[in-house]
Amino acid sequence: DQQVKQNSPSLSVQEGRISILNCDYTNSMFDYFLWYKKYPAEGPTFLISISSIKDKNEDGRFTVFLNKSAKHLSLHIVPSQPGDSAVYFCAARATNTGNQFYFGTGTSLTVIP
Amino acid sequence: DVKVTQSSRYLVKRTGEKVFLECVQDMDHENMFWYRQDPGLGLRLIYFSYDVKMKEKGDIPEGYSVSREKKERFSLILESASTNQTSMYLCASSLSEWGRYGYTFGSGTRLTVV
């Protein structure tokens, strides 16, 4: 049973525009969320995180929004750049699951120059 | 710069072979994890370890085993490789108090079983 879902396998955006990647989760006990970015033939790298006590966290061009009532997470990239083209995974963790993160299936973002 | 190193980037093995995937981290992390990544399925946890000689099954442990004899090294073993184990394998590590960055991942091993 997939506890973290990314329903859009792919997304294409023009350079300079906003990219919005979405993530839904089912476990209301999740209290910490991460976004990872993955280039082909490389491991995922940490991008941005958010705790359940917040509804927004911003880091440069990247902003993550958390809507706990909807169990929904989104990553906004503004402005999008060609180097942002990668697969993005959201991940969630609950205190009662120890150190294990649950990952979504990933969204492949293509930023068109 | 902290590192998780996976010994092979690409491997091709025959059906029925015993396969060892090695992972070493230099960050003194307590926790280590093995995931496989498949298209449309994301990252699925195979096994993890919270300490030396400790191991826990993840979501898809069947056909795999692990070994953690030293803190820095976590090995994934395919007892008898099958074609459905063709995948990208990712090793990760984290502190027990994992902080804000979650896991540090290795670069992955692309395994093809023929």
Amino acid B2: pLDDT: 63
Amino acid A104: pLDDT: 93
Instruction: Extract the runs of DSSP E, i.e. beta strands, from chain A.
Output: 4-5, 10-14, 19-25, 30-38, 45-51, 56-59, 62-67, 72-77, 86-94, 102-103, 107-112
Of B41, B45, B105, the CB nearest to A44: B105
Amino acid A57: pLDDT: 96
Taking an 8 Å cut-off on Cβ atoms, the answer to whether B108 and A42 are in contact is: yes
Of B50, B94, B107, the CB nearest to A43: B107
Residues of A in contact with B40 (CB under 8 A): 9, 105
Amino acid A99: pLDDT: 66
Amino acid A97: pLDDT: 65
Strand A62-67 and strand A10-14: pairing? Answer: unpaired
pLDDT in tens, A75-100: 999 999 999 999 999 999 887 666 67
Give the closest residue to A66 by CA, choosing from A104, A25, A37.
Answer: A25
Amino acid B103: pLDDT: 87
Amino acid A79: pLDDT: 97
Taking an 8 Å cut-off on Cβ atoms, the answer to whether B90 and A44 are in contact is: yes
Taking an 8 Å cut-off on Cβ atoms, the answer to whether A104 and B101 are in contact is: no
Amino acid A95: pLDDT: 74
DSSP 8-class letter at A60: T
What is the rounded average pLDDT for all residues in chain A?
93
pLDDT in tens, B24-75: 999 888 889 999 999 888 899 999 998 898 899 998 999 999 999 999 999 9
A104 inside 8 A of chain B by CB: yes
- Nearest residue in chain B measured CA to CA from A32: B100
DSSP 8-class letter at B84: G
Burial tier of A41 (Cβ tally within 10 Å: 0-12, 13-18, 19+): exposed
- Nearest residue in chain B measured CA to CA from A105: B42
What is the rounded average pLDDT for all residues in chain B?
91
Amino acid A49: pLDDT: 92
Of A9, A49, A89, the CB nearest to B40: A9
Residue position matching structure tokens 């006590």 = A53
What are the mean pLDDT values of chain A's consecutive 10-residue runs (113 residues total)?
A: 89 97 94 93 90 95 97 97 96 77 93 96
Q: If residue B5 lies in a helix (H) or strand (E), which one and from where to where?
A: strand B4-6
